[in-house]
Structure 1
Amino acid sequence: MKKAIGLTGGIATGKSSVTSFLRSQGFVVFDADDLVHDLQKVGGRLYNLIFSEFGSDYFDEMGEMKRQKLAEEVFSNPEVNQRLGKLQNSIIREEILKEKNQLSLEHDLFFMDIPLLIEESYQIYFDEIWLISAQPKLQLDRLMKRNLLTEKTAKERIAMQMSMDEKVKYADVVIDNSGSLKNLHEQILKQIEKLKNDNQY
């Protein structure tokens, strides 16, 4: 039986550690962020739309998008976040579902990492949702270190997202990424073994 697993989590909960391990075990993992970056590149489906909506201030002299500047504006201004979402979400959904359909033809089991999977109601397209979580203090520390943010700014970015307590309601599996890599890998392997034992792929 074919199985499509949706991966998601909060910002800085460590989804990349999960996807890296899954790939090391031979599994196919689609990354929605990579897709969006491609769509936003010069010539991509979203490039002209974003340029027309937000203007040249968010693009460098070579025409490349200033992702960091736009991201900062999105996180600090809900109105900008809403404008960007309205502009690109339907195209992103179309492209993600196109990728999912292709993967379904080629693989019995595959994973799709979609940061806003629950917020954008992608869960209806998957057989299982795996949620990557982390203790709040650890999540905050990781975000501050990774993005070089102040504690205040990091807290604001986390607060803009759906809470982990709310996301858990939609999850079939919760992977706690608060401990060691060994512990994380053991949790993932346990879920893979469960899929095998249930003859689900």
Structure 2
Amino acid sequence: MLTVGLTGGIGAGKSEALRLLAEHGAVVIDADRIAREVVEPGTPGLAAVVTEFGEEVLTSSGALDRPRLGRIVFAAPERRRALNAIVHPLVRARAAQLRAAAAAPGAIVVEDVPLLAENQLQGRYDAIVVVDASEATRLDRLVRLRGMTEEDARARMAAQATREERLMIADFVLDNDGPREDLARQVTALWGRLRDLAGRGARG
């Protein structure tokens, strides 16, 4: 089994890269999706978040109010650390379960790890893929496609590792400043390289 850590700044297009890799046959572990699952209503994760941040981070239906919580944690590093201390262990445990379930010979497991560079987790994977896009491109996507204010978008970008810090740990880089067709071509080429690595059982 080849384990691949995929990362990139917010708005870089990690989700699209993951979707394309899944189409090629990768076993995808989506940390963002897991992070949502572990704080769904009725979970110990959500209870811990409410204990830490108060019931004002809940919607009227009892679900997590993500935009409200996001504004709180991205405005204050200590609050973000408190949230990460709750969510990250739960995400890691679930990701480990999914990796174990996928542990077939020759499997290529691609795990989306948004804070891979920040937490220096590159040693846990056989290869690191960075989805890269310029700050201007990412800002435009966050404001235009996700509906964030420019202030919120810039705060979230500033809370992450720099572009240079991510590129320093990359074994492979997907340039996602252009159209989806360009990304698709790059992912196809990347898949060939990953299959070669899986066949050799070695890090590239």
Q: CA RMSD in A?
A: 1.9
With normalisation by structure 1, the TM-score equals: 0.90
Partner of 1:82: 81
Matched, 1:98 2:106: no
Task: Provide Cα deviations, 1:36-55, integer angstroms capped at 9, x if missing partner.
Answer: 11110122231111111111
Which secondary structure state, in structure 2, belongs to the residue aligned with residue 147 of structure 1? coil
Residue 126 and residue 53 in structure 1: after superposition, are their counterparts in 2 closer, same or farther (change >3 A)?
same
Query: Given residue 170 of structure 1, which amino acid in structure 2 is its aligned partner?
Result: I
Partner of 1:120: 119
Query: Given residue 29 of structure 1, which amino acid in structure 2 is its aligned partner?
Result: V
Question: Which structure 2 segments of 5+ residues have no match?
Answer: none
Query: Given residue 109 of structure 1, which amino acid in structure 2 is its aligned partner?
Result: I
* Deviates most, 37-46 or 146-155: 146-155
Partner of 2:13: 14
Q: How many residues align?
A: 200
Residue 164 and residue 74 in structure 1: after superposition, are their counterparts in 2 closer, same or farther (change >3 A)?
same
Matched, 1:129 2:128: yes
Query: Given residue 24 of structure 2, which amino acid in structure 1 is its aligned partner?
Result: Q
Instruction: Determine if contact 1:29/1:110 at 8 Å carries over to the other structure.
Output: yes
Which secondary structure state, in structure 1, belongs to the residue aligned with residue 4 of structure 2? strand
* Deviates most, 3-12 or 75-84: 75-84
Q: Distance in 2 between matches of 1:27 and 1:86?
A: 29
Instruction: Determine if contact 2:26/2:107 at 8 Å carries over to the other structure.
Output: no
Partner of 2:180: 181
Report the CA distance between 1:106 and its aligned residue. Answer: 7.3
Instruction: Determine if contact 2:4/2:127 at 8 Å carries over to the other structure.
Output: yes
Instruction: Determine if contact 2:108/2:194 at 8 Å carries over to the other structure.
Output: no
Query: Given residue 127 of structure 1, which amino acid in structure 2 is its aligned partner?
Result: D
Q: After TM superposition, what 4+ stretches of structure 1 lie above 6 angstroms from structure 2?
A: none
Which secondary structure state, in structure 1, belongs to the residue aligned with residue 173 of structure 2? strand
Instruction: Determine if contact 1:32/1:96 at 8 Å carries over to the other structure.
Output: yes
Instruction: Determine if contact 1:3/1:200 at 8 Å carries over to the other structure.
Output: no
Which secondary structure state, in structure 2, belongs to the residue aligned with residue 46 of structure 1? helix
Q: Distance in 1 between matches of 2:44 and 2:118?
A: 22
Q: Distance in 2 between matches of 1:31 and 1:127?
A: 17
Residue 99 and residue 165 in structure 1: after superposition, are their counterparts in 2 closer, same or farther (change >3 A)?
same
Report the CA distance between 1:105 and its aligned residue. Answer: 4.0
Question: Which structure 1 segments of 5+ residues have no match?
Answer: none
Query: Given residue 102 of structure 1, which amino acid in structure 2 is its aligned partner?
Result: A
